[in-house]
Amino acid sequence: MKLVIKEINDKNYNEALRLKVKKGQEDFIETVEECLNEAKQISLWRPVGIYNYNQIIGFAMYGLWENEGADGRVWLDRFMIENEFQGRGYGSESLKLILNRIYNEYNRNEIYLSIYENNDLAIKMYEKIGFQFNGELDINGEKIMKLEV
């Protein structure tokens, strides 16, 4: 396993669009196409592909919302691993890599995400990394988790 993160651009846009989650997970995350369209409209979002060597295996989108809280909040807004690569350890390792990138890019001690309370597998992975529920809900009613770095 040799994981790397690459910005989504014209060269890898179409391969990112092919990423899909497993059946039953579709309601937990927007499609990559929806994410990329949102990133075009809101320049705060940073969409990236997760690669194992040269093969795309996942997608993430993150950004800093300066108008939230006293100093703004950094959000890991989207994170997914392609269905055929799930269950092989790519999720946890990719998440660590993304979080390291976010920390280095924004130099913030807290990273936030929102999650559906019935997304048990993702919650377990996030908790294993150190995320904890903070008692807040986002505007869509999803529970908010926070990682203190």
- What span, in angstroms and rounded, lies between the C-alpha atoms of 32 and 82? 11
Catalytic residue among 62, 90, 112, 126: 126
What are 24-53's pLDDT values in tens digits? 766 676 777 887 788 888 888 899 999 999
pTM of the model: 0.88
CATH topology of domain 3-148: Aminopeptidase (3.40.630)
**Tally of CB atoms within 10 A around 59:** 25
Long-range contacts of 139-147 (CB under 8 A, 24+ apart): 140/114, 142/114, 142/115, 142/116, 142/117, 143/114, 143/115, 143/116, 143/117, 144/112, 144/113, 144/114, 144/115, 145/112, 145/113, 145/114, 145/115, 146/110, 146/111, 146/112, 147/99, 147/110, 147/111, 147/112
Tell the burial category of 131 from Cβ atoms under 10 Å away from its Cβ (0-12, 13-18, 19+): buried
pLDDT digits (tens, 9 = 90+) for 51-110: 999 999 999 999 998 777 667 899 998 898 887 888 788 888 999 999 999 999 999 889
- Per-domain residue ranges of the chain: 3-148
pLDDT tens per residue across span 106-124: 998 899 999 989 888 889 9
Does the annotation count 103 as an active-site position? no
CA distances from 122 to 15, 33, 78, 112 (A): 24, 21, 12, 14
Give me the residue label for tokens 């926070």.
Answer: 146
pLDDT tens figures, 54-65 = 999 999 999 998
Q: In what order do the strands lie in the sheet with 55-65?
A: 3-7, 46-52, 55-65, 73-81, 110-115, 143-148, 132-137
